[in-house]
Amino acid sequence: MIKIRNLKKSFDEKQVLRDVTLDVQDGEKLVIIGRSGCGKSVLLKLILNLLTPDEGYILVDDIAIKKIGQKPLFELRRKFGFLFQSAALFDSLTVAENIALPLVEHTRLSPAEIAAKVAEKLTMVGLPGIEDLKPSELSGGMRKRVGLARAIVMDPKYILYDEPTTGLDPIMAANIDQLIIELNRKLAVTTIVVTHDMQSVRKVADRVVMLHNGRIIYSGTVADLEQTADPVVRQFINGEIDGPIQPKPQPD
């Protein structure tokens, strides 16, 4: 499991995470919600050790990701599959080459074994047989699926999704949600989804946490979320203009 304790992260004078403490249980589908710019992607990057916290720590399967050396760190990273907010495919490579990248870099599998793994993962995300296409030939939803095939190619224990349904039509978004649920079940992985798509939240989440002003202000089931009396949470989930959250223009 993942244990996050008293995590703090600032950029220049801007405090993004003020004090985040959170446990992610094995096998659960945890959804993190919160306003744009509240630090959701930063939190995922801290978990992946792509950023370092200013204070606090994260334990993954009881190993502190801050203190370990390069080799164990790599072993730890292998436990994670990550679907980037932008899918992040290499346009000059084919679909198969994109998915195979982690295998080519980090395993000694033969080309035939790699091809078999790529085919298996493409089938798993519902896109069998598109190995030879280039990313430019794919729709947004297909790109997300290919990104997801790459995220699971090393058989991770944890899959992290950053805005998996953003920019997709409602049917494709529902498809991706379905896929997230299926992969969680079939691969017996722990799933963390960052989103502000409330449809996704309702469909996917075993548990929802809301990040606001650098802290977790809500943790509970979707059913409880809908019933909460907290005015900040209510305003967010109902998308209301009036309430305690006042729009602040983001610097970027």
Ligand X SMILES: Nc1ncnc2c1ncn2[C@@H]1O[C@H](COP(=O)(O)OP(=O)(O)OP(=O)(O)O)[C@@H](O)[C@H]1O
Query: Considering the complex, what minimum distance in angstroms separates the CB of residue 146 from ligand X?
Result: 21
Site membership for Mg ion, residue 184 (CB under 5 A)? no
**Residues 222, 205: Cα–Cα separation, whole Å:** 7
Nearer to ligand X, 124 or 194 (CB): 194
Nearer to ligand X, 50 or 116 (CB): 50
Phi/psi of residue 228, each to 5°?
Answer: -60, 150
Distances (CA, A) of 186 to 34, 165, 194: 28, 21, 21
Residues 132-151 contacting ligand X, CB under 6 A = none
Instruction: Find tokens 């403490």 and name the residue.
Output: 21
Site membership for ligand X, residue 252 (CB under 6 A)? yes
Q: Which stretch binds Mg ion (CB under 5 A): 34-42, 47-55, 204-212, 227-235?
A: 34-42
Query: Considering the complex, what minimum distance in angstroms separates the CB of residue 224 from Mg ion?
Result: 25
Strands 190-194 and 29-33: parallel
**Residues 235, 44: Cα–Cα separation, whole Å:** 24
Nearer to ligand X, 107 or 219 (CB): 219
Among 32, 33, 41, 127, binds Mg ion (CB under 5 A): 41
Nearer to Mg ion, 114 or 163 (CB): 163
**Residue 37 interacts with which of ligand X, Mg ion, none, CB < 5 to 8 Å by class:** ligand X
Query: Considering the complex, what minimum distance in angstroms separates the CB of residue 21 from ligand X?
Result: 18
CB-based burial label for 164 (10 Å; 0-12, 13-18, 19+): buried
Amino acid 167 reads G
Nearer to ligand X, 177 or 197 (CB): 197
**Terminal C-alpha separation, the chain:** 34
* Residue of closest CB approach to Mg ion: 41
Nearer to Mg ion, 124 or 194 (CB): 194
Query: Considering the complex, what minimum distance in angstroms separates the CB of residue 176 from Mg ion?
Result: 16
Facing residues of 81 across strands? 159
**Residue 81 interacts with which of ligand X, Mg ion, none, CB < 5 to 8 Å by class:** none
**Residue 56 interacts with which of Mg ion, ligand X, none, CB < 5 to 8 Å by class:** none
Helices (H), the chain: 40-47, 70-77, 95-106, 111-124, 140-151, 170-186, 198-204, 222-227, 231-238
Helix 95-106 vs helix 111-124: crossing angle, to nearest 10? 130
Residues 4-63 contacting ligand X, CB under 6 A = 11, 16, 34, 36-42
Nearer to ligand X, 16 or 58 (CB): 16
Q: What angle do CA 171, 175, 179 make, to 5 degrees?
A: 170
Give contact residues for Mg ion (rule: CB under 5 A): 41
Give contact residues for ligand X (rule: CB under 6 A): 11, 16, 34, 36-42, 252
